[in-house]
């Protein structure tokens, strides 16, 4: 299946595809997802009260995701390996808000200080 076919397959999506143009490009390579069931009462201590913890099989889950982030760049600029390529590990859980499912990051750690500073600056403006 081509990427265009994948993007055009939308019947399983819980909401419509965004209509605005993309702004950033990034690749996640060499990725692994590790999942653990956790106690709801313990997880609630770390998740903002305005978010509902999404359950799978009646249980909350936390995931550790490790990968190599590569070729991060704004749409109209080339990537610059010194800041665009690095290893990342994040710890996340799954949440719901405003009738949408999503991911809440409990921790995000990147392999390059400058890349982490740029990501945090961008996060403040989104």
pLDDT in tens, 83-115: 889 999 999 999 999 888 889 999 888 887 776
How is the chain split into domains, by residue range? 21-124
User: Nearest 5°: phi and psi at 69?
Assistant: -90, 130
Task: Give the confidence band of 118 by pLDDT, cuts at 50, 70, 90.
Answer: low
**Cα dihedral 23, 28, 32, 36 in deg (nearest 10):** -10
**Mean pLDDT within 45-66:** 96
pTM above 0.85, yes or no: no
Segment 71-82, tens digit of pLDDT: 988 889 999 888
**pLDDT of 121 above 80:** no
Is 54:94 a contact under the CB 8 Å cutoff?
A: yes
What pLDDT sits at residue 38?
A: 97
Specify the CATH number of the domain 21-124: 2.40.400.10
Structure tokens at 76: 């109209």
Task: Give the confidence band of 116 by pLDDT, cuts at 50, 70, 90.
Answer: low
Query: Tokens 């990034």 correspond to what residue?
Result: 26
Task: Tell me which residue of 94, 88, 120, 90 sits closest to 107, measured CA to CA.
Answer: 90
What pLDDT sits at residue 125?
A: 40
How far is residue 108's CA from residue 89's CA, in Å, rounded to a whole number?
Answer: 6
**Mean pLDDT within 31-51:** 97
**pLDDT of 37 above 50:** yes
Is 27:69 a contact under the CB 8 Å cutoff?
A: yes
The neighbouring-strand residues paired with 86 are 69
**Mean pLDDT within 53-72:** 95
Cα angle for residues 108, 112, 116 (degrees, 5° grid): 45
How far is residue 89's CA from residue 97's CA, in Å, rounded to a whole number?
Answer: 24
Task: Give the confidence band of 124 by pLDDT, cuts at 50, 70, 90.
Answer: very low
């Amino acid at each position: 299946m081509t990427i265009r076919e994948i993007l055009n397959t939308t019947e399983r999506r819980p909401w419509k595809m965004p209509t605005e143009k993309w702004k950033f490009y990034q690749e996640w390579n060499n990725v692994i997802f590790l999942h653990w069931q956790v106690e709801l009462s313990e997880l609630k201590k770390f998740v903002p009260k305005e978010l509902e913890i999404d359950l799978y099989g009646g249980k909350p889950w936390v995931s550790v995701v490790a990968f190599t982030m590569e070729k991060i760049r704004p749409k109209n600029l080339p990537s610059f390996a010194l800041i665009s390529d690095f290893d990342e590990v994040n710890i996340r859980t799954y949440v719901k808000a405003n009738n949408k499912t999503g991911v809440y990051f409990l921790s995000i750690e990147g392999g390059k200080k400058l890349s982490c500073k740029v990501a945090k600056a961008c996060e403040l403006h989104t």
